[in-house]
Chain A
Amino acid sequence: MEKFTTLQSRAIPLHIENVDTDQIIPARFLKATDREGFGNNVFRDWRYHKDGTINTDFVLNDSKYSGSILVAGDNFGCGSSREHAAWAITDFGFKVVVSSFFADIFKGNALNNGLLPVQVSPAFLSDLMQRVVSNPETELVVDLEKQTISVKDSELSENFEIDAYKKTCMINGYDDIDYLINNKEQIEAFEAQKIY
């Protein structure tokens, strides 16, 4: 897993609530057996019309906006457990998703793929969304060590929460498999004396 410490970038505003994983990556693209290439189809049915032409109204197709931070509406990533959603977002080039609320499974999947979910207050999100929408050149700074997200050259800044263990994993690029395998003896001992 790639390490994450700090990131300064412009952001793309996705001003929609309850973005579900079926929108992030539709089911018909889940037939692949490897992890690569899902970025081509991220938000496929919002980026393209059914006839394959580009939907110029969708924010990801608006050349004004760029950057590796996605600023999204409340309850991002609800629905299916497909990790393909996290793969698609990272493959497209995002390293951070900001929202006022994340669905559990998506949040876990993101953290397992070096994609940082930054949960902010609804008021902060609303302010941030407005600034990014009105000024696409707005630069955001995400500092994982300090657990802060700020708008560069402004007073707008907020702290965010992250599990201490997951924070260490993100900063060092560790994943859970390493940790679990190193604890095999303990797991075997547990199996030997299960009470149920």
Chain B
Amino acid sequence: MSKTLFDKVWDSHVVSTIENGPQILYIDKHLIHEVTSPQAFNELEDRGIPVFRSNQIVATADHNTPTLNQDQPIKDELSRKQLEQLSENCKKNNITLYELGHKYNGIVHVMAPELGVTQPGLTMVCGDSHTSTHGAFGAIAFGIGTSQVAQVFASQCLLLTKPKSLRVTVNGKLKNGVLPKDVILYIISKLGTNSGTGYFCEYAGNVFEDMSMEGRMTVCNMSIEMGARGGMIAPDETTFEYVKGREFAPKGEAFDKKVAYWKTLPTDSDAKFDKEYSFDAEDIAPMITYGTNPGMGIKISETIPVDENPSFKKSLAYMNFEAGESLINKPINFVFIGSCTNSRIEDFRVAANYIKGKKKAANVTAWLVPGSKQVETQIIEEGLKSIFDDAGFELRQPGCSACLAMNDDKIPQGEYCVSTSNRNFEGRQGQGSRTILASPLVAAATAVEGKIIDISRQLN
């Protein structure tokens, strides 16, 4: 029978099926961090249950970590305690931890692919909804709650009902200045924030085939923002080339054997999906959001739509925007380039390329937060740091940072932040903060101009 990429990976991981109920799905890799794991460790300890497969778990500290002075003790007592507890739990249970300051430390969805932990055909979970990122490699990867973190600790399995399948196809040639972030913001603006709920999404078409792994990760990362538990892209030569030679990637003959298997994974040509959408690449433009969910996005040159829905109006009131107005020329005082969506080397290359020879506007505070120590090192080695320094941008140390503002990187009350992160929810970047989601290019341009500009017009 014809199968989709998702079917092939899922079906090969089913341990058993409960009659009229869920399936036991085997999990290959379990990524953990300081925020959603402590209660799971406690639960196991309270119930006297040991960790079943500690060698399949990788831990990092990212959500709560400072992005300045990482070599010094963390000032915030609760944050410090949470990180200490992660270290203790990992030590006690023989789990590999890349703690703060380690050369492999970073945002879980940046460092795991970098290390070759993420590979095609695997099942991966993490107590974080952006685990969908790893689907860029043709893995089934999704976010789980803390009770499920405990279940995977205890059994390396989860009880799940197989989601339905959805395919989003984008073919054609992307316009100048349109980045992977714009592609996914465009898709979510068309489909809404819950169109993917209950589904696993495959992205297909030449637009995704032509993307780098970094770009594919940006796209899959935001699958959850349209409600899909995960997103996937078929593994191909770009994928194999990326994985090859990384720390935990198979080597030599073992790698070749894996590649031969990975080549069998793409969706069969006559496989059927439960739902399909298709878009034309030429219709996509640099995007920007104006509201308080990622589906509230427009092309940067468009005006905010008019809608009488009370939730829509509440959202615009929070943002202090008017229906029908344009965002061009809106003064912006904060710019954040970072998060598991856009903090990989390619994102900083795009920003540096635009910024080179220009200066940040005086009104703007611009934070650049690399996704990992490795990205940070690369930024320095490639000479990007000096471009950022010269332009007045601040390069910080890796972590989730102002994406969710658990640490000190908060956007003040009432301020707008053009951000490369994934969520523009009320107060997401600090109490009362107003987030405008965009690509690293739009973010860089905003920082230079001190206001939102029509980047497509400038590029042309």
Contact = CB atoms under 8 A, between A and B. Distances in A.
Contacts of B81: 31, 33
B128 A103 contact: no
Contacts of B405: 27-28
B85 interface: yes
Given A31-B406, A196-B121, A183 B15 contact: yes
A180 interface: yes
Given A31-B78, A35-B39, A180 B26 contact: no
Contacts of A113: 147
B154 A82 contact: no
A80 B127 CA distance: 9
A113 B212 CA distance: 40
B145 interface: yes
A105 B38 contact: no
A31 B311 CA distance: 30
A137 interface: no
Contacts of A31: 35, 64, 76, 78-79, 81-82, 406
Interface in B182-236: 193-194, 197-198, 224, 227, 229
B247 to A, nearest CB: 21
Interface residues of B, number: 73
Contact of A108 (B49, B82, B148): B148
Interface residues of A, number: 56
B197 A101 contact: yes
Given A27-B404, A177-B150, A78 B194 contact: yes
A66 interface: no
A73 B159 contact: no
Contacts of B432: 45, 50
Interface in A24-54: 26-28, 30-35, 45, 50
Interface stretch (B170-178, B387-395, B422-430): B422-430
Nearest to A75: B194
Contacts of A163: 21-22, 161
Contact of B144 (A33, A84, A105, A179): A105
Interface stretch (A2-10, A139-147, A151-159, A185-193): A185-193
Contacts of B22: 163, 165
A23 interface: yes
Given A83-B147, A176-B159, A28 B24 contact: no
Contact of B427 (A45, A101, A184): A45
B151 interface: yes
Given A30-B35, A103-B227, A177-B154, A15 B310 contact: yes
A104 interface: yes
A119 B26 CA distance: 29
19 contacts: A22-B404, A26-B431, A33-B82, A73-B311, A74-B194, A81-B128, A81-B129, A83-B145, A101-B194, A104-B198, A113-B147, A164-B20, A165-B18, A180-B157, A183-B157, A186-B15, A187-B157, A191-B26, A195-B12
Interface of A: 15-18, 20, 22-23, 26-28, 30-35, 45, 50, 73-75, 78-84, 86, 101-105, 108-109, 112-113, 163-165, 175-177, 179-181, 183-184, 186-187, 190-191, 194-196
